[in-house]
């Protein structure tokens, strides 16, 4: 509790010569109205005191400040604004030193840029991540950072939104010093030095030495971020970031700041930013289980065991090794184990060749992974994850063995993507310890982890899975036991429609182009080729179902990229999908065989049929209480399937389109389609009729 207000404290030291303004607005010093007001009062107090000769602004060990309070966006603006606070700092006639420990992000870093000096603790990070919220830094960041680090480097930092470690920020010129030892004491010493040196405090806005190159040729800025912009495919925020940085070079400071604010306000009202802000909070909500008793204790996890060294098992093992958790990989045969571990090493080597990993780091990670063909090693694990072939009998046998060998209290997880976790848990005498941990391929890359709650899963098991998910850097969501869980169950609806579109008149490249234009990184057919068509073919055969075109391709040995042909053909050594007349022939023959008269299908219909049936399935999932929140489904699709973040996820998107429109279009398609799942789900009907959206639904517990 501060003495200025609840979140700001003011004290003096050195006989009153140094004022220390401390921010403490847990957890991360978001610049809420209270914090901004407290800062203004404290800065004015220091300004107006004759005794005070210098000011140190400091946060907590975790965060100097994580920026503007995102939850305030979209609500009426209450003065003082962050711009006012920064202007007050900037105009101080006494030197102000920002003492940064932990994070200084967004508006938090802008606050520091408004100070006259910036010092940081060694592990801290600074950055302007606004672009990830569909925004740009709106409190002077785009005008001040270029003046410290140059316009090209500033544009790269602002367009990427990635935080910069203190040492690098120092080398670039964004910081004045990185201070070892007791940080508060060291920052105070720095403040004393500045005070002793005297002179007019240097304002970042007055500098322009670092802008010389861009002033001579502003196009250097565009060149510096050309690759990043290409990847971001015409989104408004990254482009506005560049425009704002350009203004720092071509306009005087005041005008540049006006331009920045105008661009910021434009983005704040954009649908993309609204969606990205939704995702920010949705991601954090998804990791919470509201019905979990507050006193639930996580089980300590010091060592993991992964059963199966296939692609999934190896990828899962990498997740633990990357997080510094020792992991044992168990296989039945030495050859398979060696193959699996070689694949892991190969993945790391690829990362080294791309420059994203050092050899020393690879060695460290590989040292965390050890393989064995002794199933008895199950006993070593605090967490055992089974990643064997998708076959119920096999999984049941494996779990019975795990039950016999595993430590009491160990968390037992299956990585199944299709099978009933209740049945798997029933193979043990401790179903309370069993749940699903559904990783997405490649497991070491994809951020999503579906945690499947079975009938008897205990809260302690769920808490442990959520905790370990966070430790290994995953975005988690608890889901219920149903066919395909949440993500794949919705995907199945899209897959059915994709195949039907081909039969009715579209070609794979038409469908992929529409899905790509919607914002996915890949269309369903290119994706199928990448994953391998044989996987689905085998599952279909086992289940006795068919998918005419895909089956025909597989029968012709076209399994996708790995065989150089699938829905597309691939030149040797290339991953670029090329339309293939052979495939067109197969598709035309399939339509004819079914007696379907092909018709031209426009991009708008393709897009609707790729997206709306998934939303419909999402509604059924919510109705059956297989997901806790509509926003959890959004997170699953964003982090597991590449749904464009700026469209906020399928259920958020549905609310933006309007549920009556989705209901009506689905009903139209259902009227002429053999796919009965297109019929609008009762929950969709109900919400559409009452004028509500999915966002209005209360959080619910998973049905077990
Ligand atoms: C901005 O600054 C605009 C300005 O340029 C211009 C203004 C005019 N606001 O992520 P965690 C909450 S835009 C509100 O779990 P971590 C978060 O929701 C802002 N709340 O912890 C969570 O709440 P809960 C630019 C925030 O250690 C709790 O804090 N800044 C904010 O894994 C803990 O968060 C950013 O974009 C916020 N700014 O990661 C930074 N930040 O416990 C956004 C956090 O109820 N924040 N919360 O679920 C982050 O990237 C991460 O939260 C951070 C900590 C890295 C800071």
3-state secondary structure 214-268: HHHCCHHHHHHHHHHHHHCCCCHHHHHHHHHHHHHHHCCHHHHHHHHHHHHHHHH
Residue nearest atom 18 in ligand 1 by C-alpha distance:
281
| pLDDT tier at 536, thresholds 50, 70, 90 | confident
d(CA 383, CA 437): 11
> Counting atoms of ligand 1 from 1, which one is nearest the CA of 284?
48
User: Are the C-beta atoms of 110 and 143 separated by less than 8 Å?
Assistant: no
User: Are the C-beta atoms of 230 and 161 separated by less than 8 Å?
Assistant: no
Summarised one tens digit per residue, pLDDT across range 190-209 is 999 999 999 999 999 999 99
Choice among 143-152, 199-208, 531-540, 607-616 with the minimum mean pLDDT:
531-540
Q: How far is CA 485 from the centre of its chain?
A: 20
User: Are the C-beta atoms of 327 and 369 separated by less than 8 Å?
Assistant: yes
Decide which of 3.40.50.720, 3.30.70.100, 3.40.50.2030, 3.40.50.2000 is the CATH code for 304-485.
3.40.50.720
Task: Kindly state the average pLDDT of the residues 63-83.
Answer: 94
pLDDT at 76 (0 to 100):
87
Residue nearest atom 7 in ligand 1 by C-alpha distance:
138
Given a cut of 80, whether residue 59 has pLDDT beyond it is yes
Cα of 238 from ligand 1 centre, angstroms: 20
| pLDDT tier at 77, thresholds 50, 70, 90 | confident
Question: At the top level of CATH, which class does the domain 506-594 belong to?
Answer: mainly alpha
Q: How many secondary structure helices (H) and strands (E) does the chain include?
A: 29, 18
- Who lines ligand 1 at CB under 6 A? 27-28, 30, 66-71, 82, 103, 105-107, 110, 129-130, 133, 135, 137-139, 141, 284
Summarised one tens digit per residue, pLDDT across range 544-559 is 888 889 999 999 999 9
Task: Kindly state the average pLDDT of the residues 583-610.
Answer: 97
User: Are the C-beta atoms of 261 and 123 separated by less than 8 Å?
Assistant: no
What are the backbone angles phi and psi of residue 588, rounded to the nearest 5°? -60, -40
Counting residues of the chain whose pLDDT is more than 90, the rounded percentage is 94
Q: How many Cβ atoms from other residues are within 10 Å of residue 68's Cβ?
A: 26
Closest CA to 381 of 353, 408, 363: 408
Task: Kindly state the average pLDDT of the residues 357-369.
Answer: 97
User: Are the C-beta atoms of 503 and 548 separated by less than 8 Å?
Assistant: yes
pLDDT at 277 (0 to 100):
97
Is the domain spanning 8-268 CATH 3.90.226.10? The answer is yes
Choice among 283-292, 300-309, 532-541 with the minimum mean pLDDT:
532-541
Give the N- to C-terminal CA distance of the chain in Å, as an integer.
44
Angle at 433 (CA atoms; ends 303, 344), nearest 5 degrees: 35
Summarised one tens digit per residue, pLDDT across range 322-348 is 999 999 999 999 999 999 999 999 999
d(CA 137, CA 349): 37
Residue nearest atom 10 in ligand 1 by C-alpha distance:
284
Given a cut of 90, whether residue 246 has pLDDT beyond it is yes
Counting residues of the chain whose pLDDT is more than 70, the rounded percentage is 100
Tell me the three-class secondary structure of 538-607, residue by residue: HHHHHHCCCCHHHHHHHHCCCCEHHHCECCCECCCCCCCCECCHHHHHHHHHHHHHCCCCCCCCCHHHHH
Please compute, for residue 227, the number of CA atoms within 13 A of its CA located in the half-sphere on the CB side.
Answer: 4
Identify whether 110 is a catalytic site residue.
yes
Q: How far is CA 366 from the centre of its chain?
A: 26
Cα of 289 from ligand 1 centre, angstroms: 20
Task: Kindly state the average pLDDT of the residues 143-155.
Answer: 98
Residue nearest atom 24 in ligand 1 by C-alpha distance:
284
d(CA 34, CA 448): 35
pLDDT at 326 (0 to 100):
98
Task: Kindly state the average pLDDT of the residues 176-193.
Answer: 98
d(CA 681, CA 666): 10
Residue nearest atom 11 in ligand 1 by C-alpha distance:
284
pLDDT at 390 (0 to 100):
86
Given a cut of 80, whether residue 1 has pLDDT beyond it is no
d(CA 546, CA 537): 8
Q: Annotated catalytic residue: which of 11, 44, 130, 624? A: 130
Residue 230 contacts by C-beta under 8 Å, 6 or more apart in sequence? Answer: none
Mean pLDDT of the chain: 96
Task: Kindly state the average pLDDT of the residues 474-502.
Answer: 96
Task: Kindly state the average pLDDT of the residues 246-270.
Answer: 97
Given a cut of 80, whether residue 98 has pLDDT beyond it is yes
Task: Kindly state the average pLDDT of the residues 127-154.
Answer: 98
Helices (H), 271-420: 271-286, 311-322, 334-353, 359-368, 392-405
Q: How many Cβ atoms from other residues are within 10 Å of residue 232's Cβ?
A: 18
Cα of 70 from ligand 1 centre, angstroms: 7
pLDDT at 230 (0 to 100):
86
Q: How far is CA 183 from the centre of its chain?
A: 32
Given a cut of 80, whether residue 49 has pLDDT beyond it is yes
Given a cut of 80, whether residue 130 has pLDDT beyond it is yes
Q: How far is CA 347 from CA 184, 293, 311, 540, in A?
A: 42, 40, 11, 30
pLDDT at 547 (0 to 100):
87
Identify whether 391 is a catalytic site residue.
no
Cα of 221 from ligand 1 centre, angstroms: 28
d(CA 138, CA 115): 16
Residue nearest atom 5 in ligand 1 by C-alpha distance:
137
Task: Kindly state the average pLDDT of the residues 177-183.
Answer: 97
pLDDT at 223 (0 to 100):
94
d(CA 205, CA 214): 16
Cα of 175 from ligand 1 centre, angstroms: 22
Closest CA to 647 of 270, 88, 301: 270
> Counting atoms of ligand 1 from 1, which one is nearest the CA of 128?
25
pLDDT at 400 (0 to 100):
98
Residue 327 contacts by C-beta under 8 Å, 6 or more apart in sequence? Answer: 303, 304, 305, 306, 317, 320, 321, 368, 369, 370
Q: Annotated catalytic residue: which of 110, 152, 331, 608? A: 110
Cα of 137 from ligand 1 centre, angstroms: 14
Summarised one tens digit per residue, pLDDT across range 417-472 is 989 999 999 999 999 999 999 999 899 999 999 999 999 999 999 999 999 999 99
Task: Kindly state the average pLDDT of the residues 175-187.
Answer: 98
Domain residue ranges of the chain, discontinuous segments joined by +: 8-268, 304-485, 506-594
> Counting atoms of ligand 1 from 1, which one is nearest the CA of 71?
14
Closest CA to 412 of 364, 369, 379: 379
pLDDT at 231 (0 to 100):
83
> Counting atoms of ligand 1 from 1, which one is nearest the CA of 105?
30
């Amino acid at each position: 509790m501060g003495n200025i207000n609840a979140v700001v404290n003011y004290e003096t030291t050195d006989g009153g010569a140094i004022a220390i303004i401390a921010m403490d607005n847990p957890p991360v010093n978001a610049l809420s109205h209270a914090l901004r007001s407290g800062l203004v009062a404290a800065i004015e107090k220091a300004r107006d005191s004759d005794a005070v000769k210098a000011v140190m602004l400091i946060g907590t060990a975790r965060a100097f400040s994580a920026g503007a309070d995102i939850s305030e966006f979209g609500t009426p603006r209450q003065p003082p604004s962050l711009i006012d606070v920064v202007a007050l700092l900037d105009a101080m006639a006494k030197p102000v030193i920002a003492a940064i420990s932990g994070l200084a992000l967004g508006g938090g870093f802008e606050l520091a840029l408004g100070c006259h000096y910036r010092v940081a603790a060694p592990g801290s990070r600074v950055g302007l991540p606004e672009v990830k919220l569909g925004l740009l830094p709106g409190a002077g960041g785009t005008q001040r950072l270029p003046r410290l680090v140059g316009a090209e480097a500033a544009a790269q930092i602002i367009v990427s939104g990635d935080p910069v470690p203190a040492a690098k920020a120092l080398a670039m010129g964004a910081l004045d010093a990185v201070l070892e030892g007791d940080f508060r004491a060291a920052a105070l010493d720095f403040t004393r030095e500045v005070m002793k040196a005297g002179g007019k405090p240097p304002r970042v806005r007055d500098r322009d030495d670092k802008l010389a190159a861009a002033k001579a040729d502003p196009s250097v800025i565009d060149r510096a971020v050309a690759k990043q912009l290409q990847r971001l495919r015409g989104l408004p925020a990254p482009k506005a970031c560049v425009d704002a940085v350009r203004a720092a070079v071509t306009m005087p400071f005041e005008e540049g700041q006006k331009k920045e604010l105008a661009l910021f306000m434009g983005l704040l009202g954009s649908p993309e930013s609204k969606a990205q802000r939704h995702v920010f909070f949705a991601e954090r909500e998804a990791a919470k289980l509201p019905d979990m008793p507050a006193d639930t204790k996580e089980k300590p996890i010091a060592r993991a065991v992964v059963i199966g060294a296939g692609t999934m098992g190896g990828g899962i093992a990498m997740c633990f090794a990357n997080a510094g958790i020792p992991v044992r990989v168990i296989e039945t045969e030495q050859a398979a184990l060696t193959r699996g571990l070689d694949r892991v090493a190969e993945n790391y080597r690829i990362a080294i060749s791309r420059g994203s990993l050092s050899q020393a780091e690879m060695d460290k990670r590989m040292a965390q992974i050890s393989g064995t063909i002794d199933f008895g090693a199950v006993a070593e694990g605090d967490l055992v994850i089974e990643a064997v072939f998708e076959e119920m009998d096999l999984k049941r046998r494996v779990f019975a063995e795990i039950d016999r060998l595993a430590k009491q209290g160990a968390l037992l997880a299956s990585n199944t993507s299709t099978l009933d976790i209740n049945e798997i848990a029933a193979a043990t005498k401790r179903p309370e310890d069993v749940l699903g941990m559904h990783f997405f391929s490649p497991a070491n890359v994809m951020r999503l982890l579906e945690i499947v709650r079975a009938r008897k899963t205990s809260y302690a098991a769920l808490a442990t899975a959520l905790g370990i998910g966070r430790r290994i850097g995953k975005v988690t969501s608890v889901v219920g036991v149903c066919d395909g869980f949440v993500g794949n169950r919705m995907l199945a609806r899209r897959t059915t429609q994709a195949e039907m579109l081909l039969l009715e008149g579209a070609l794979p490249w038409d469908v992929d182009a529409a899905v790509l234009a919607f914002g996915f990184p890949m269309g369903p057919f290119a994706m199928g080729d990448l994953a391998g068509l044989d996987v689905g073919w085998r599952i279909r055969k086992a289940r006795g179902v068919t998918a005419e075109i895909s089956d025909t391709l597989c029968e012709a040995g076209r399994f996708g990229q790995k065989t150089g042909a699938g829905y597309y053909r691939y030149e040797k050594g290339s991953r670029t999908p090329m339309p293939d007349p052979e495939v067109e022939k197969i598709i035309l023959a399939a339509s004819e065989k079914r007696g379907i008269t092909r018709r031209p299908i426009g991009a708008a219909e393709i897009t609707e049929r790729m997206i709306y049936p998934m939303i419909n399935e999402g509604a059924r999932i919510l109705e059956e209480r297989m997901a806790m929140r509509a926003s959890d489904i959004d997170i699953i699709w964003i982090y597991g399937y590449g749904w464009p973040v700026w469209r906020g996820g399928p259920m958020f998107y549905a609310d933006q389109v309007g549920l009556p429109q989705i209901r009506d279009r689905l009903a139209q398609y259902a009227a002429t389609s053999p796919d009965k799942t297109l019929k609008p789900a009762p929950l969709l009907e109900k919400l559409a009729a009452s004028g509500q959206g999915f966002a209005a639904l209360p959080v619910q517990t998973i049905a077990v």
